Every structure is written in C-alpha cells, then in structure tokens.
Amino acid sequence: MKSPSRKFFPMQTGDYNANNNRNVESDIEMAHSPRHKKPCLFIFQVRRSTLISMFFGFVIVCAIIGAVVPMATKKRNTVSYAAGTYKPETNRFQDIYESLLNTMNEEESEEEETIPSENTVDNSVDISGEINTLDAGGSTAGDIDTDPSESVSGTDTSGTTTNPSDEPVVSTAPQAESASESAAIDPVEFVSSIEKKETPQAKALNWIANYDKAKLSSDHPNMRIRYSLAALFYATSDEGNNWKNKGGWLSGNGYCDWFGVECGEGEEGDGNGIVRVLNLTDNGLSGTLIPELGFFTHLNVVDLRKNELSGSIPSSIKNLGQLEKLYLSDNYLEGSIPEAIGQLKNLKNLYLDDNIISGPIPNEIGNLVQLEWLGLYMNLLTGTIPASIGKIPNLYVLYLDENSLSGNIPPEFGNLKRVADIRIHQNQLTGSIPPQLGACDYLEILYFDNNRLSSTIPWQLTELPYVAQIHGYKNQISGPLPTEIGLMKDLESLHLDHNKISGWIPSEVGLLRKLEVLYLYQNNLSGQIPSTIGRSESLEKLRLYDNQLSGFIPTEIGNLANLEELYLENNYLTGEIPSEVGKMYNLESLRLEGNNILGVMSNSICNLKSISLTELSTDCAGAVPEVQCSCCTKCY
C-alpha cells in the first residue's frame, strides 16, 4: 500500500599556548636558579622583563602560524563552489561557447530539414563584447581567490545505482553522446542565458572555460555533457550550499567519477564518457530542472526523488530516447506534464508523484508502449483520464489517485491484461464502474474510493481471479451486492461503506475464506446477517453498522475466532446477544447500541474483558435498560 552534521574541529590554540606558558615559566626559573648564575660569562646584561616579553612574543607568533597554516592548507585542498570571476573574453570561453552553439544550430537544422529556422544564431557573434557591457568590472559577489575545480579532500564519490548498460563498448577513447533527432534547447535561449552572467548556464560555461582543471578541448565529443552537468549543479545547488553529497563535482576529475553520475561499463573513455545513470535522490537539490537535460541522450535512469526541485519539467526531456526509468517524485515540480514525454518509447518506470503538477494527463502517454509502472498520484491533475492508457500493453501498476481528475473510468482499462494494481481513488470521477475491468486477469488491487461513482457494482468484477483488495467506499454506488461475490477466493479486503447499496448481504460471503476486512457500514442493507458469515474464519474486522439489518445475530458468528472488531450498532436487530460471542478471544471492540436487542449480557462475553475486550457498548442505560450489562464500558 501507499503507504527517508559535519563537524569541523579547529586547532585548539588555547591548549597550545597554555602548554608553552608552562614551559616559559620553567625556563625562567631555571635561568635564574643559583646554580645557573655564572658571573662574568655574559657579554652584556639582559633584563628579566625583556627576556619574558621576547619569549611571550615568540609563543604568540608560533600560535598564529599554527592556526593559519592548517586553514590555508585546507583552503587549498577544498573545492570552492562559488562562481569565479566572470571572464567571457578569454579565447577558451569563446571557443567553447561557439562549439556548443554550433551543436545546437546543427541539431535544429536537422529538425527543420529544409525549412530555415528563425532561431538559428550566427555563431560569429562576439559574445564577450555583449557580456562585458553588462559587467564592466568582470566580477561577482562570489569572486574567489582559488580555482573552484580542486578536489574535495576525503569526500566519497561512489554512486549507489547499478549500471544498466547491457552491451558495454570497451574503449578508452572519449565516446560521444549521440546527437538527438531534435534540438535539446533553443539556441536563442542559450545565448540569452550566457549573456546573463547569474544564470546556471553562464556560471557553468565560465567554470568549464576558466576554472575546470580537466581542460577538455572545445571540440571534445562530450564537452556539452560536462557543461550540462555543471549547469545542473549551479541550477540546483545554490553554489554547493545545500547538496548533501558533492563528491567530485566541479573537480578536475572526469564526470564519470562525480557522485551520482554513472557511465556505462567500458564507456568511460577518458572519464568523460557516456552517462547512463543520474542518481541524486534525497541529496538536497533545489532550484529548477534545466533544458540541458536533453543533451543526455544515452541516459537509462534519472532519479531525482526526495529533493526540493521546483519549476516545470523541461520539454527537452523528449530527447532522452534511451531512458527507461524517470523518478521525479516528492519534489515541488509544477506546470503540466509535457506532451513530449510520449516520445520516450523505451520508458518503463515513470514516477512524478507527490508534486504540484497540474493540468491534464496528456493523451501521448499512451505512446509509452514499454511502460510498466506509472505513478502520477498526489498532484493537482485535472481533466479526464485518457483512454490511451488502455493501449499500454505491459502496464503493471497505475497510480492516478489523490488528484482532481473527472469524467468516467475509461472502459479501455479492460485492455490492461497485465495490470496488477489500479489506484484512482480520491478524485472527482463520475459515471459507472466499467464492467470491462473484469477482464484484467491479473488485477490484485483496485481502489476507486472517494469519488462520485454511481450505478451498481458490476458482477464482472467477481471474475477477477486474483483480486485481494477492493476499496470503493465514499461513492454513490447503489443496487445489491452481486451474489457471485463468493467467486473471489483471494479477496482479503472489501471496503464498500458510505454508499447506497441495498438488498441483503449475500450468503455467498461465507465462501470468502481469506477475507480479513469487510466494511459495509452506512449503506441501505436490509434483511438478516447471513449465518454463513461464520465460515469466513479469517475475518478480523466486521463493520455493518448504520444499515437496516434485522433479525437475530447469528450464533455462528462466534466461530470467528480471529475477529477483533464487531460493529453492529444502529440497525434493527432483535433477540438476545448470543453467548457464543464469548468464544471470540481476540475481540477488542463490540458495539451493539441502537438496536432492539433485549436480555442480559452473558458472563462469557464479560469475561473477555480480562482477555482482550476493551470496548463494549449497548443499550444498557435508563431505569429499565433494554440490556442488563454490568461489564459494559458505555451504555446508551
């Protein structure tokens, strides 16, 4: 069911000085002791006060040196993640800028084919001149004195995700991420972002051009991947202040060694090879996702769960043609699900849950023919559930719950022959429960509660051979319970309370030998409680209150040895309370008030209070109570 501090120890200068003070006093005593006084051996006389002053000065100097030198050494051995002095005028900056821009223009030209692109940018533009007009001083508030590319001392750079590459290519030469079929980002947007020096893109390009010790050539096949990773870091790390693990990032090492970045086995090249996995789950990321993610065309796994990412999902994600798993759960992402996500033909797992994503579920999601797990729950999604979901042949899990989806449940769900878990509860769905759901042969869990569904429960649901849980409470379901309910041999939990279900409780309910929870309260059920219910020996919770049930409480109910809760209040039950209830040694709560029950509460039931019973209520109040009960915890 739906149901995860570093200490810095400065040098203890106080102890250091205290020890030296003790040595000073010892030396002075020794110098002035009688056995050390030898007249006529000094060339000149040194006064005692002068000697003490000189020695204390020496001690203070040593203490300062002892404190400053380690700090300076630490500074030299630590990465500074603050943006360095912005220097777009360097030749290397220009070369890398033009190389990246050329790549974007070429990809856009391929996408447009023979149609000229209005967004193609002339790469002969002198970007340094444009930027220098914005920053004549050439510095930022984050200026540094040391290169921000030196490695972190003692930082763990190991990843946690296994390599998903099935057929590694053994090579030590740099291997390029292939060009995508369409441009990952708009060249005009790229130029604009570089002009604004405070953008993650500008900081990344400045770092890779002026501070990156790897010094990749501007035409390195994976230069744009290194640049994009740096842009991702600056976009989500507040210059390193909030990431929990920054191991290797912005160091001179190849990015294949950076924490959370994994290259395919045999595809590392010079350490800047083909990236297969980006796993930064629960790592303190904030800020937005950058369009440069579209450059990682060989990615198999993106896992950015449990962070504080905001903004929208970039449409450039469509370029990740080899992506199999996309996890963006538990963030603050907003906007809509991009239609371009339907182009990820190899995607198997898609989890965007627990965000604030709004708008409709795009129809294009039905194009994800390899999809097995789809989690969009706990968002602000609206509109209808697209029928195209029924075209996903391998779908195993479908979570659309806790949104604001409306309209009908698509009957096309009946085409999901491999689905095991459907959760569409807590929405605003209307209409009937489609009988086609009975064709989902492997369905085990079906939650459609907390909607506005009406009509009856289709008997076709009883043909689900493996269904274990059906939750349909808090709807407007009417009509009788299907007598075929006894066919559901694996049913463990049936929640149909808070509806308008009428008729009798089918005697076939006694065939549900695995049933543990039966909630039928707050309906319009009538007739007697079937005696066959005593055969459901696995029952732990039975709630039938607030109905129109009549007749006696069946004595067979005492056979439910595992029962913990029995709520029968507010019906029209008559007769006496059967003493067989006293055999239910696991019973914790028994509610019988609001009926027409008469007689005396048996001692066998009262004795349960010393074993398990903590709540016992009935109509035992008044001068002439309907039930005489000396052990009840509450009388009505």
Q: At what angle do helices 13-31 and 48-76 cross, to 10 degrees?
A: 150
Average pLDDT for 186-194? 87
Q: Which residue has the higher pLDDT, 107 or 549?
A: 549
Q: What's the CA gap between 488 and 477, in Å, rounded?
A: 20
DSSP collapsed to 3 states, 177-216? CCCCCCCCCCHHHHHHHHHCCCCHHHHHHHHHHHCCCCCC
Closest CA to 338 of 373, 309, 368, 298: 368
pLDDT at 79 over 90: no
Amino acid 343: pLDDT: 96
CA dihedral of 252, 257, 261, 266, whole degrees rounded to 10? 120
Q: Could you state, in order of their start, the residue ranges of all structural domains in the chain?
A: 13-76, 91-272, 277-283+298-310+318-557
The share of the chain scoring above pLDDT 90, in percent, equals 68
Evaluate whether 317 touches 341 at the Cβ level (below 8 Å). yes
Q: What's the CA gap between 69 and 78, in Å, rounded?
A: 14
Q: Which two tokens stand for residue 321?
A: 């043609």
What's the CATH code, domain 277-283+298-310+318-557? 3.80.10.10
Q: Which two tokens stand for residue 16?
A: 């250091």
Q: What's the CA gap between 342 and 326, in Å, rounded?
A: 13
Query: Which of the 8 DSSP states describes residue 93?
Result: H
Q: Cα–Cα distances in Å, from 411 out to 407, 421, 440, 578?
A: 12, 16, 11, 46
Q: At what angle do helices 187-195 and 127-134 cross, to 10 degrees?
A: 40
Q: Is 591 helix (H, G, I), strand (E, B) or coil?
A: strand
Average pLDDT for 577-600? 97
Amino acid 63: pLDDT: 61
DSSP 239-288: TTTS-S--TTTTSSS-GGGSTTEEEPTT--TTS---EEEEE-TTS--EEE
pLDDT band at 197 (very low <50, low <70, confident <90, very high): confident
The share of the chain scoring above pLDDT 70, in percent, equals 75
Amino acid 186: pLDDT: 81
Query: Which of the 8 DSSP states describes residue 384?
Result: B
Amino acid 102: pLDDT: 87
Q: Is 128 helix (H, G, I), strand (E, B) or coil?
A: helix
E strand or H helix at 276:
strand 275-279
Q: What's the CA gap between 390 and 182, in Å, rounded?
A: 29
Evaluate whether 535 touches 507 at the Cβ level (below 8 Å). no
Closest CA to 443 of 402, 398, 386, 385: 398
pLDDT at 69 over 80: no
CA dihedral of 290, 291, 294, 299, whole degrees rounded to 10? 10
For 430, how many CA atoms within 13 A lie in the half-sphere containing its CB?
4
Q: Is 470 helix (H, G, I), strand (E, B) or coil?
A: strand
Q: Which two tokens stand for residue 260?
A: 């959370």
Q: What's the CA gap between 305 and 260, in Å, rounded?
A: 13
How many residues would you count in the chain? 636
Full-model pTM? 0.79
Question: Count of CB atoms within 10 A of residue 58's CB?
Answer: 12
Q: What are phi and psi of 155, to 5 degrees?
A: -100, 135
User: Which of these ranges, 21-30, 84-93, 166-175, 392-401, has the smallest mean pLDDT?
Assistant: 21-30
Contacts of 154 (CB under 8 A, 6+ apart): none
Closest CA to 442 of 413, 421, 420, 459: 420
